[in-house]
Chains A and B, each alone.
Chain A
């Protein structure tokens, strides 16, 4: 199993550009989520999904869209990039939404918005 994969690893955008961060998992996990990691802030939840076709907002959803058309994929779209979105983005999955399941993280995407 590849686990949770993310592409790209690094990306530089100009303000106002849009892009999609890709996330895929091959473990048939129901639950997937996106976090951003900023210095001194820890991991903050952007959006999450409890299954294909179901998504919901996390703590910091503004400026981001998600969709979940398949169990495997959970892309994160930046609609109009802003310097405040410079961060490291982690995708994660777990077998089901239940609290006793540990979460598996992807390798991260480092995004810089100039």
Chain B
């Protein structure tokens, strides 16, 4: 069983704050790391797919970095807005497998 750990479990920030979360995964046989955003009462939606060590991806105010050698990825949100409130999931693919193993997520709440 692969362990994909996410921290913190939950986070409460004020509008305008910048924040970041961590996803830790086994560093051996890395294949890909996915980030998903999951709003309450909706389905998870893909944010980023990262496959190379040193990858940096950006979508608006959200960005992510990847370190496959040490087994972690950071997700950053700059200037948080209430609409950023969601659970952020990371998922890991190992070796030549096709299966995604999900972490338990970081729940972000942004208040005015």
Residue of B nearest to A58 (CB): B99
Residue of B nearest to A96 (CB): B98
Contact of B43 among A41, A44, A102, A107 (CB under 8 A): A107
B-side interface residues, number (CB < 8 Å): 23
> Smallest CB–CB gap between B1 and chain A, Å?
7
> Smallest CB–CB gap between B105 and chain A, Å?
6
B86 contacts chain A at the CB level, 8 A cutoff: no
Check A90 against B43 for contact (C-beta < 8 Å): yes
Interface residues of A in 20-34 (CB under 8 A from B): 31, 33
Asked if A31 meets B34 with Cβ closer than 8 Å, knowing A42-B89, A100-B51, the reply is no
Residue of A nearest to B4 (CB): A42
A75 contacts chain B at the CB level, 8 A cutoff: no
Chain A positions within 8 Å of B51 at CB level: 99-100
* Bound: A97/B100 CA distance, A: 10
Interface residues of A in 74-114 (CB under 8 A from B): 90, 97-108
Proximity bits, A3-46, B CB within 8 Å = 1, else 0: 00000000000000000000000000001010100001111110
> Smallest CB–CB gap between B110 and chain A, Å?
22
Residue of B nearest to A108 (CB): B43
Residue of A nearest to B100 (CB): A103
Asked if A106 meets B34 with Cβ closer than 8 Å, knowing A42-B89, A43-B89, A99-B51, the reply is no
A-side interface residues, number (CB < 8 Å): 26
* Bound: A25/B75 CA distance, A: 30
* Bound: A100/B32 CA distance, A: 7
> Smallest CB–CB gap between B67 and chain A, Å?
17
Check B46 against A103 for contact (C-beta < 8 Å): yes
Asked if A105 meets B49 with Cβ closer than 8 Å, knowing A40-B104, A42-B104, A45-B100, the reply is no
Chain B positions within 8 Å of A44 at CB level: 102
Check B102 against A43 for contact (C-beta < 8 Å): yes
Chain A positions within 8 Å of B46 at CB level: 102-104
Q: Which residues of B approach A to under 8 Å, CB–CB?
A: 1, 31-32, 34, 36, 42-46, 49, 51, 89, 91, 93, 98-105
Q: Which residues of A approach B to under 8 Å, CB–CB?
A: 31, 33, 35, 40-45, 48, 50, 58-59, 90, 97-108
